[in-house]
């Protein structure tokens, strides 16, 4: 196998599994141990992967980009995902919207809905959905400056008082073996609470989350009902979602406007 083809294959395997041992790569590529180690070193020097003891993994970003950067990154894709999510929700429905950039796009897509019962820990989400006969319930506690999120024990106790038809959650990473992952423990704790308060959980995430690694486990795929994204995931991930009986919706392209 040519070097460029090996490098492409290694990146593909890591996108699917997150990490691989040298032995696993040797078996998959059919080359020597020495060749795999050289390829890992080359890709790591190009900042495409990280070398770990006995293998390699995708770069593990322990810090998530700021909220405003996330709002502008992949904005067209997030709007398409949001429209798909909003189409599942009817006038008069009850919905819990966890704070996040894609969730805020969902809130914007819901502005034409009426008589919603909304629960959220996102200040901008609450503001977006005021009016149209909607009843908006906002978690109490300290408001985080970066993104207007309310987290902590008070927010978790608040959300436990509700039972809604839909919960819309986001994730920092979607991994075929790990499920949904997040960057921060306090955000994940709120998400855990939200999962238990909904009849149906909708996860909204753009395709870049299939290529990243986040350190905090949110949930297995079995905990969600629908995953909405903007590109078809890898076949192993599609199979894993099918095994978990998760409905996969791939949003088509749309206009650049809100």
Chain centre to alpha carbon of residue 65? 14
Question: Are 239 and 145 in the same domain?
Answer: yes
pLDDT at 53: 77
Q: Is 28 exposed, middle or buried (0-12, 13-18, 19+ CB in 10 A)?
A: middle
pLDDT at 237: 92
The strand order across the sheet containing 216-219 reads 173-175, 179-182, 216-219
Q: What percent of the chain has pLDDT over 70?
A: 90
Question: Are 47 and 129 in the same domain?
Answer: no
pLDDT at 214: 79
Question: Are 35 and 158 in the same domain?
Answer: no
| Two tokens, residue 157 | 């106790």
Question: Are 179 and 224 in the same domain?
Answer: yes
58 neighbors 225 (Cβ within 8 angstroms): no
Would the CA dihedral through 140, 142, 148, 150 be positive or negative?
Answer: negative
pLDDT in tens, 78-88: 999 999 999 99
- Judge whether 222 lies within some domain: yes
Question: Are 46 and 174 in the same domain?
Answer: no
- Judge whether 257 lies within some domain: no
pLDDT at 62: 44
pLDDT at 257: 44
Range list of β-strands (E), the chain: 19-21, 50-52, 55-57, 94-97, 117-120, 135-138, 164-169, 173-175, 179-182, 198-204, 216-219, 226-229, 247-250
Q: Is 32 exposed, middle or buried (0-12, 13-18, 19+ CB in 10 A)?
A: exposed
pLDDT in tens, 179-231: 999 888 888 999 999 999 999 999 999 988 887 777 788 999 999 999 999 99
pLDDT at 256: 41
Average pLDDT, the chain: 88
Question: Are 15 and 108 in the same domain?
Answer: no
CA distance 125 to 82: 13
- Judge whether 62 lies within some domain: no
Residue ranges making up the domain that contains 27: 3-57
Residue 234 has pLDDT above 90, yes or no: no
CA distance 224 to 222: 6
Question: Are 128 and 162 in the same domain?
Answer: yes
Question: Are 202 and 132 in the same domain?
Answer: yes
What end-to-end distance do the CA atoms of the chain give, in Å? 47
> pTM of the predicted model, to two decimals?
0.75
CB neighbourhood size of 86 (10 A): 20
- Judge whether 9 lies within some domain: yes
pLDDT at 2: 86
- Judge whether 92 lies within some domain: yes
Question: Are 208 and 115 in the same domain?
Answer: yes
pLDDT in tens, 138-179: 999 888 887 889 999 999 999 999 999 999 999 988 988 889
What CATH code is carried by the domain that includes residue 226? 3.40.50.1360
- Judge whether 134 lies within some domain: yes
Question: Are 144 and 231 in the same domain?
Answer: yes
17 neighbors 40 (Cβ within 8 angstroms): no
- Judge whether 38 lies within some domain: yes
How many residues are listed for the chain in this entry? 258
Backbone φ and ψ for 121, nearest 5 degrees, come out as: -115, 20
What CATH code is carried by the domain that includes residue 23? 1.10.10.10
Question: Are 42 and 149 in the same domain?
Answer: no
Question: Are 49 and 112 in the same domain?
Answer: no
- Judge whether 235 lies within some domain: yes
CA atoms within 13 A on the CB side of 241: 22
Q: What percent of the chain has pLDDT over 90?
A: 61
Domain count, the chain: 2
Domain boundary among 39, 57, 75: 57
pLDDT mean over 35-61: 81
Residue 258 has pLDDT above 50, yes or no: no
Q: Could you say which DSSP state residue 209 is in? A: G
């Amino acid at each position: 196998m040519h070097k460029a083809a090996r490098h492409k294959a290694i990146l593909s395997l890591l996108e699917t599994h997150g990490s691989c041992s040298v032995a696993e790569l040797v078996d998959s590529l059919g080359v020597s141990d020495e060749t795999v180690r050289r390829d890992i070193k080359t890709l790591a020097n190009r900042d495409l992967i990280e070398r770990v003891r006995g293998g390699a993994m995708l770069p593990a970003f322990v810090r998530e980009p700021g909220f405003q950067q996330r709002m502008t990154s992949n904005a067209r894709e997030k709007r398409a995902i949001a429209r798909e999510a909003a189409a599942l929700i009817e006038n008069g429905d009850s919905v819990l919207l966890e704070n996040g950039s894609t969730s805020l796009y969902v809130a914007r897509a819901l502005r034409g809905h009426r008589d919603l019962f909304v629960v959220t820990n996102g200040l901008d989400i609450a503001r977006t959905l005021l009016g149209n006969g909607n009843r908006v319930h906002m978690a109490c506690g300290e408001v985080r400056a970066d993104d207007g999120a309310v987290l902590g024990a008070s927010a978790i106790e608040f959300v436990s008082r509700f039972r809604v038809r839909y919960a819309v959650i986001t994730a920092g990473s979607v991994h075929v073996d790990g499920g949904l992952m997040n960057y921060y423990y306090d955000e994940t704790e709120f998400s855990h609470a939200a999962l238990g308060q909904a009849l149906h959980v909708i996860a909204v995430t753009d395709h870049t989350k299939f290529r990243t690694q986040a350190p905090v486990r949110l949930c297995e795929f079995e905990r969600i009902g629908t995953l909405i994204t903007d590109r078809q995931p890898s076949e192993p991930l599609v199979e894993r979602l099918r095994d978990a009986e998760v409905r996969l919706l791939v949003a088509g392209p749309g206009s650049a406007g809100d």
